[in-house]
Amino acid sequence: MATATKSKAKIKFRPMDDRVLVEPSEADEVTTGGIILPDTAREKPQRGTILAVGPGKLLDSGKRGEMGVRIGDEVFYGKYSGTEIEYGPSKYVVIRESDILAVVDNG
């Protein structure tokens, strides 16, 4: 079971199969031109950090497929991918590994 840790809250979350728990990045509050955006005008983030990873997709052979991402990876995902959930004051997104578009390589 993976443990997702926030600054104040600690949650235990175990995604099923090939799903991952992502903490979305904060939406931009100011445009590049300096205009301050209200909450209703901000776009949904498409980037976030993986906090928990499932065991992998169950294959026809009965074995589990290996996950290509791991906890701590920063990823880009589809705009309307996954399911948003709230736990306390925080919001998360649960998405399938196949909805992840790219992993950010900080190296």
Task: Give residue 47's Cα distance to chain centre.
Answer: 7
pLDDT in tens, 40-69: 655 666 899 999 999 999 899 989 999 999
* Statement: residue 4 has pLDDT above 60: no
Average pLDDT, the chain: 81
CATH topology of domain 3-103: 10 Kd Chaperonin, Protein Cpn10; Chain O (2.30.33)
Answer for the pair 36, 27: CB distance below 8 angstroms, yes or no. no
SS3 80: coil
